[in-house]
Amino acid sequence: MIPGDGIGQEVVAQGLKVLNAVLPADVKLETKEYDLGARRWHRTGETLPDAELDALKTHDAILLGAIGDPSVPSGVLERGLLLKLRFAFDHFINLRPSKLFPNTATPLAGRPDIDFVVVREGTEGPYTGNGGSLRTGTPAEVATEVSVNTAYGVERVVRDAFARAQARPRKKLTLVHKNNVLVFAGHLWKNIFDTVAKEYPDVTTDYLHVDAATIFFVTQPERFDVIVTDNLFGDILTDLAAAVTGGIGLAASGNINPTGAFPSMFEPVHGSAPDIAGQGKADPTATVLSVALLLRHLGYESEAARIEDAVQADLAARDGSARTTDEIGDALAVRVSG
């Protein structure tokens, strides 16, 4: 567990509570907490020392709360801790399901039926840290960011997405990119997508430019089943997806390495929300749903489903009265053990 900053602490505690409640008695859960994030950085200047990276490698999975605080310069913890973990553990599948649960507030009129999953590439694209800045801080500065895309990296995420689409009832996969402008990366993605598609004749495929995709997210989100996309487009689309499906308080994610070579890492999509930290106001549901993804990844399918059913039931029963972080965690723990 890396509770991290702000509400990260509070929501991870609830995730652990529900995890304990859902696990069969004969499964012994061992957890270890890593003190990483803003406080650690202020104390020691460290973001993720090698010793801790090595120690983290020995676990079956990682549950992360949230990383980031306004007191730390932008980029330090994101690049030095969160992205470092995603890259070091080769989390090439960044899995982000979006479902509009009953009784949740969507900003969309008419409550469309939303149930899709974004398979976001997690180890390439503009996230590689390639780039630089010349004559920094002068009127002649040039700053570059390089999006790096490889056939190796694109093919493995595209294959994963096709397999996921095939396993779902609607069997539909949409590639999102911007291949009319980013022609080099875009053509690589499109060519691999079209090639792999031939092996999945029962999967219906579709291509959308990222700008057009945002339109459909608000006008016709029910058209999506599985979406596969690049790291940056996936970042943007999944925040939008969270917003239209009841808010970032419900959005779960998994940074997955399907080969098992390294532990996968599960985290709510939301940030550390320093403005409400420590007040028991955070909704731990996104973290609890991330625990479900964690369990599914480790083969505990029925436990994962029990958590998802519990969340569904809890949301359906909400009457609008405020509950604390702890109360929501308790309610979910009761439901999964019931």
Ligand X SMILES: CC(C)[C@H](C(=O)O)[C@@H](O)C(=O)O
Q: Which of the residues are catalytic?
A: 127, 178, 211, 235, 239
Nearer to a second copy, 139 or 299 (CB): 139
Pick the closest to residue 256 from 116, 53, 90 (CA basis): 90
| Binding of residue 181 to ligand X (CB under 6 A) | yes
Rounded-to-integer distance, Cα 65 and Cα 10, Å = 8
Rounded-to-integer distance, Cα 30 and Cα 8, Å = 20
Structure tokens at 262: 């390294």
Q: Which of 183, 316, 317, 334 binds a second copy (CB under 8 A)?
A: 183
* Pair type for strands 226-229 and 172-177: parallel
List the x/- string, 48-77, binding to a second copy by CB under 8 A: --------------------x-----xx--
3-state SS string for 268-324: ECCCCCHHHCCCCCCCCHHHHHHHHHHHHHCCCHHHHHHHHHHHHHHHHHCCCCCCC
| Binding of residue 144 to ligand X (CB under 6 A) | no
Rounded-to-integer distance, Cα 115 and Cα 92, Å = 22
| Binding of residue 143 to ligand X (CB under 6 A) | no
Q: Which uninterrupted H or E stretch holds 99?
A: strand 93-99
Q: Are 125 and 146 in contact (CB under 8 A)?
A: no
| Binding of residue 211 to a second copy (CB under 8 A) | yes
Structure tokens at 278: 């420590």
List the x/- string, 112-151, binding to a second copy by CB under 8 A: --------------xx-x-xxx-x-xxxxxxxxxxxxxxx
> In Å, how far from its chain's centre is CA 124?
15
Footprint (CB under 6 A) of ligand X, residues 92-131: none
Q: Are 314 and 331 in contact (CB under 8 A)?
A: yes
Q: What are phi and psi of 281, to 5 degrees?
A: -100, -15
Query: Is 338 annotated to bind ligand?
Result: no
Query: Is 275 annotated to bind ligand?
Result: yes
Q: Which of 60, 194, 211, 275 binds ligand X (CB under 6 A)?
A: 211
Rounded-to-integer distance, Cα 145 and Cα 130, Å = 6
Rounded-to-integer distance, Cα 255 and Cα 87, Å = 10
Q: Which of 82, 196, 265, 307 binds ligand X (CB under 6 A)?
A: 82
Q: Which of 78, 115, 155, 330 binds ligand X (CB under 6 A)?
A: 78
| Binding of residue 145 to ligand X (CB under 6 A) | no
Q: Which residue is nearest to ligand X (CB)?
A: 78
Type of residue found at 133? S
Q: Which of 88, 244, 298, 313 binds a second copy (CB under 8 A)?
A: 244
List the x/- string, 213-252, binding to ligand X by CB under 6 A: ----------------------x-----------------
Shortest distance, position 22 Cβ to ligand X, whole Å: 25
Task: Specify the stretch interacting with a second copy by CB under 8 A; choose among 26-34, 41-49, 207-215, 287-295.
Answer: 207-215
Residues making up the binding site for substrate: 86, 96, 120, 211
Annotated binding-site members: 86, 96, 120, 211, 235, 239, 271-283
Q: Which residues bind ligand X (CB under 6 A)?
A: 78, 82-83, 180-181, 211, 235, 269
